[in-house]
Amino acid sequence: MATVELHIADELLHDFETIRPALNGREIGRRPSPTCDACTILDMAMADAPAHAKTMEIILQRVDNQPVIKEIHYWDERGDFIAPAVPFREVTG
């Protein structure tokens, strides 16, 4: 389980509370962003995050006017995107 930062606009915190149960993780801390007056940084312990992940981004989609998680992206401490592992189908002949 990796602890990652989720930077979120304050106006979207309500939507985050709506999708929180769908995350495979939990919030372990919260603080104001030092670089954005209208943002909050949530420290998230995420079970599915790569061990070297530093930050995460949640891509939401509205379905019937409710936010639904579409994707979760992770970046390492240098800011490099961590590509998801995609299993390859076994080719049988």
pLDDT at 84: 72
CB-CB neighbours of 13 under 10 Å: 14
pLDDT at 61: 86
The pLDDT confidence band at residue 90, using thresholds 50, 70 and 90, is low
Tell me, yes or no, whether 92 lies in a domain. Answer: no
pLDDT at 16: 87
Tell me, yes or no, whether 73 lies in a domain. Answer: yes
Residues of the domain holding 8: 2-80
Q: What would the pLDDT profile of 38-89 be if each residue is shown by its tens digit?
A: 999 999 999 999 999 999 999 888 889 888 888 899 999 999 999 776 554 5
Number of separate domains in the chain: 1
Report how far Cα 59 is from the mean position of its chain's Cα atoms.
Answer: 8
Cα distances (angstroms) measured from residue 79 to each of 37, 39, 85: 22, 19, 18
Tell me, yes or no, whether 88 lies in a domain. Answer: no
Closest CA to 14 of 67, 56, 62, 61: 67
